[in-house]
Amino acid sequence: MTEETTTPEAEDLREETAAAAPEVAEHDAATSLQAEIDDLRKQLLYAQAETQNVRRRMEKDALDARAYAATGFARDMLSVADNLGRALAALPPSMRDDDATKALVTGIEMTAKELENVFQRNGITKIESVGAKLDPNRHQAMVELPSDQEPGTIVQEMQAGYMIKDRLLRPALVGVAKASEQARVDLEA
């Protein structure tokens, strides 16, 4: 019964019982208070644990934000690095020896080197691909090429891949060695 539906007779009976056995009433009150204390203690522990979890999550998010804040900018700068690399690869050897264009070539080389240094300072590293096994987490196979290498080995890099700290910034676009025709015949047999 709840207190609202208690009859005056039931209330009188309870008062008589409490008066006749005060230690029972005290025990009931102490038990209910102890149960309430235990419940509040549990709630407090859960609240403290939740607060600690939120604090840890926020600290991790802040560390990640600092570590990977430059990701978008770094992705945009990769095209600059690619274009500088293409410019250097396209220069004929005669330009490097010609006094009229030597300063221009040196300037392009210095710019490419400085960009590489900036990448290193910010945790951006180039993925070494040629000669490695194809890793789908770092490489994107674009073509299979006949080769004397073991199938699945990277034999050509079409575009360099980059990591920012431990995360992939851009996969390397690669060509992988394919199985020779004799190996395919052996597999099918």
In order of 68, 71, 125, 163, 165, the CA distances from 122 in angstroms are 9, 10, 9, 11, 8
Asked if 57 and 19 sit in the same domain, the reply is: yes
> Domain containing 161: what range?
124-189
Asked if 135 and 150 sit in the same domain, the reply is: yes
The residue whose two tokens read 């180039």 is 126
19 has pLDDT over 70 = no
pTM: 0.63
- Count of structural domains within the chain: 3
The reported pLDDT for the residue numbered 94 is 87
Asked if 23 and 45 sit in the same domain, the reply is: yes
Is residue 165 a contact partner of residue 67, using CB atoms and an 8 Å limit?
yes
> How does pLDDT run across 101-141, given as a tens digit for each residue?
888 899 999 999 999 999 999 899 999 999 999 999 999 99
Whole-number Å distance between alpha carbons of 64 and 116: 23
Q: How many CA atoms lie within 13 A of 45 on its CB side?
A: 6
User: Taking residues 9-31, what's their average pLDDT?
Assistant: 66
Asked if 43 and 79 sit in the same domain, the reply is: no
Q: How many CA atoms lie within 13 A of 185 on its CB side?
A: 3
The reported pLDDT for the residue numbered 40 is 95
Nearest-Å Rg of the Cα atoms of the chain is 37
Asked if 178 and 137 sit in the same domain, the reply is: yes
Asked if 54 and 97 sit in the same domain, the reply is: no
Whole-number Å distance between alpha carbons of 82 and 56: 39
Asked if 15 and 57 sit in the same domain, the reply is: yes
> How does pLDDT run across 46-103, given as a tens digit for each residue?
999 999 999 999 999 998 888 788 888 889 999 999 999 999 999 998 888 888 888 8
Q: Which residues pair with 164 in a beta bridge?
A: 124, 167
Asked if 142 and 118 sit in the same domain, the reply is: no
The letter for the amino acid at 12 is D
Please tell me what DSSP assigns to residue 104: H
